[in-house]
Structure 1
Amino acid sequence: MQKLTAIGIVMAFVVVITGALLKGAGIHALWSGAALVVVFVGTASAIMVQTPGPILSRALKMLKWLVNPPHQDMEEQLKKIVNWSETARRQGLLGLEPQVEAEPDAMVKKGLQLLVDGTEPDNIRNILGVENDAKKHNDMLSAKVFEAAGIYAPTMGIIGAVLGLMAVMQNLADPSKLGPGIAGAFVSTVYGIGLANLLLLPMANKLKLVVTDHSREREMMVEGIAAIAEGENPRNIESKLRGYVH
């Protein structure tokens, strides 16, 4: 995933630059300070108006997931659940107490503590299920920040193009300024559409996929802990949870 993301971002820039060269416009035609301000700052402004501070802060922190998503080894997690189950059968639920302190994931640690405390399986599912749903909901809201930015960016590109054409219309008496003026006006459109479709919308979809995969991993952990509480055989637990791995 990390390599594909990096390659895709590089290819996005290469496609636009190569297209400008093949069309004869040249690289210099892609630069416009005014278009940069209108599209990038305008899109950022719209996002700041729309998004609460905590969600925006979380969205920026999630950017690293594009190249370094949270480690997810479903097979390893399944083995961990089976080992817990075998420990519980040999030593009882209290035998899992050392695992509580050793578990790095806060939600899983909470689930193990509930298990050791003798909480009913349905209560474990309800408590951890609510926590998992809340985390997925918040992460999805953060991922959708980039989706919203991808919707605003083309509109800001159109605004920039209109502003550029307005400037051109004020110089109709000077034909030498018409060509460069019109070309410069449309740079904003290139920025807006390119930013949305080559970066922002793909970024949003990638982050939503990571969030969904991470939530599914936590669902497996919840079901595994609840199955241990129900006293199921370790082999049955493994068979039951194998579907999550695939």
Structure 2
Amino acid sequence: MDPATLIGLVIAFGSLYAMIALEGAHVSAILLPAPMILVLGATIAIGIASYTVRDSISAFKAVLPAVLGKPAKVGESIKDLVRYAEVARSKGLLALEEASTEARTEFERKALQNVADGTDPEELRVMLEDEIESRHDRGRTNAKFFAALGGFAPTVGIIGTVVSLTHVLENLSSPENLGPMIATAFVATLWGLLSANFIWLPISARIERMNELESKAMTVRMEGILAIQNGMQPLLLGERLTALAGDAAADGKARERESVPLSRLSDAA
């Protein structure tokens, strides 16, 4: 498990609690059911209305894997690919059928199986690229869903504040109650901003980043397997994939950087 998101959120909410305590206020002042129900409930409802039911279900299912999951370990995949290259070099491509049973991912297993079955390299590339693109698009839609919630939440909070202030104006005959009522009215705006910046937008960014790392790992696997199909020497394959993967090959924590196009792998065979 990569704890970055959990650590960040704990520190963020801890900082909020520290501010409330230092101000001499009480947490109960912002934990009001009415504005929380409006902001959280309406925001999620508007998000669902903006997408399809399938998109919404997929987005919520992606939360736990993104928050609790580990980034793709490209370094381990490269070691596996080098081993597959050694098997193919010594025993032939048909031996990859047996080796595919040890593959770490279903994507890798199917690719190796197709190589063993003699699938045309160009057709195999198209098939694998389509699968990578499909998964990437799905992850991007999941991230956009929560980014949309982050955009809706502040506006919903303002709506809640306006509704509460309308109630305040109805009670101008009781000036002794105006202060607490006005304070309560602004809790909806607080929860709108709070949920957007402490919940929805971080989840969106996390899903997007994990999606990028997974897509990069899948692309490295694809190019490695295609290079094996074209007969690339194992040592050269390992060096090229390590260089192309960058920091991801060293510690499993990839960072964005420019690199040589992966499509050159197969040309080096």
User: What interval of TM-score do these two structures reach, taking the shorter chain for normalisation?
Assistant: over 0.9
More helix by share: 1
Per the alignment, residue 215 of structure 1 pairs with: 215
- Separation in 1, partners of 2:80, 2:166: 65
- Separation in 2, partners of 1:2, 1:118: 39
* Range that drifts further, 96-105 or 157-166: 96-105
* Post-superposition offset of 1:102: 3.3
Return the TM-score normalized by structure 2: 0.86
* Post-superposition offset of 1:65: 2.6
Per the alignment, residue 77 of structure 2 pairs with: 77
- Separation in 1, partners of 2:143, 2:70: 15
Misfit runs of 4+, over 4 Å: none
Per the alignment, residue 203 of structure 1 pairs with: 203
Per the alignment, residue 235 of structure 2 pairs with: 235
Superposed counterparts of 1:100-119, under 5 Å: 100-119=100-119
How well do the aligned residues superpose, as a CA RMSD in angstroms? Answer: 1.6
Q: Is the counterpart of residue 15 in structure 1 residue 15 in structure 2?
A: yes
Q: Percent identity?
A: 32
Superposed counterparts of 1:115-194, under 5 Å: 115-194=115-194
CA separation of 1:104 and 1:78: change in aligned 2, threshold 3 A = closer
* Range that drifts further, 32-41 or 47-56: 47-56
Tell whether the 8 Å contact from 2:2 to 2:71 is kept in structure 1 after alignment.
Answer: no
Tell whether the 8 Å contact from 1:121 to 1:227 is kept in structure 2 after alignment.
Answer: no
Classify the secondary structure of the residue corresponding to 2:119.
coil
* CA displacement 1:135-178 (0-9 Å, x = unmatched): 11011111221111111111111001101110001111110121
CA separation of 1:70 and 1:123: change in aligned 2, threshold 3 A = farther
Unaligned runs of 5+ in 2: 248-269
Per the alignment, residue 6 of structure 1 pairs with: 6
* CA displacement 1:210-229 (0-9 Å, x = unmatched): 11001100000000111011
Paired residue type of 1:158: I
- Separation in 1, partners of 2:27, 2:116: 65
Q: Is the counterpart of residue 65 in structure 1 residue 81 in structure 2?
A: no
Per the alignment, residue 46 of structure 1 pairs with: 46
Return the TM-score normalized by structure 1: 0.94
Per the alignment, residue 245 of structure 2 pairs with: 244
Classify the secondary structure of the residue corresponding to 2:173.
coil
Tell whether the 8 Å contact from 2:82 to 2:238 is kept in structure 1 after alignment.
Answer: yes
* Range that drifts further, 7-16 or 39-48: 7-16
Unaligned runs of 5+ in 1: none
Tell whether the 8 Å contact from 2:87 to 2:95 is kept in structure 1 after alignment.
Answer: yes
* Post-superposition offset of 1:67: 3.7
* Range that drifts further, 136-145 or 61-70: 61-70
